[in-house]
């Protein structure tokens, strides 16, 4: 019991933080996090496409480096 309010008080501030917590997927500072349905997974082709795109961009940019083969 808290001496000032007469209500049970937590020993640390952690309980108050948990009570005021918001869903991390809904936080305004998280730009690209999206809440998906349970069991939903993105297609593996997105990752393959991203790899090919990044690899192509790196090779294209490296072609501008002087002294290359």
0.75 exceeded by pTM: no
Kindly report the CA angle at 46 between 34 and 41, in degrees rounded to 5? 50
Closest residue by Cα to residue 32 from 40, 44, 41, 24: 24
pLDDT at site 51: 98
pLDDT at site 58: 95
Q: Spell out the per-residue pLDDT of the chain, length 69, in tens.
A: 555 556 665 566 666 666 666 666 666 666 777 777 888 888 999 999 999 999 999 999 998 888 865
């Amino acid at each position: 019991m808290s001496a000032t309010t007469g209500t049970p008080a937590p020993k640390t501030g952690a309980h108050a933080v948990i009570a005021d917590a918001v869903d991390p997927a809904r936080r305004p500072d998280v730009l690209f996090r999206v809440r998906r349905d349970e069991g939903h997974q993105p297609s593996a082709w997105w990752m393959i496409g991203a790899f090919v795109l990044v690899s192509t961009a790196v090779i294209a940019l490296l072609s501008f480096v002087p002294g290359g083969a």
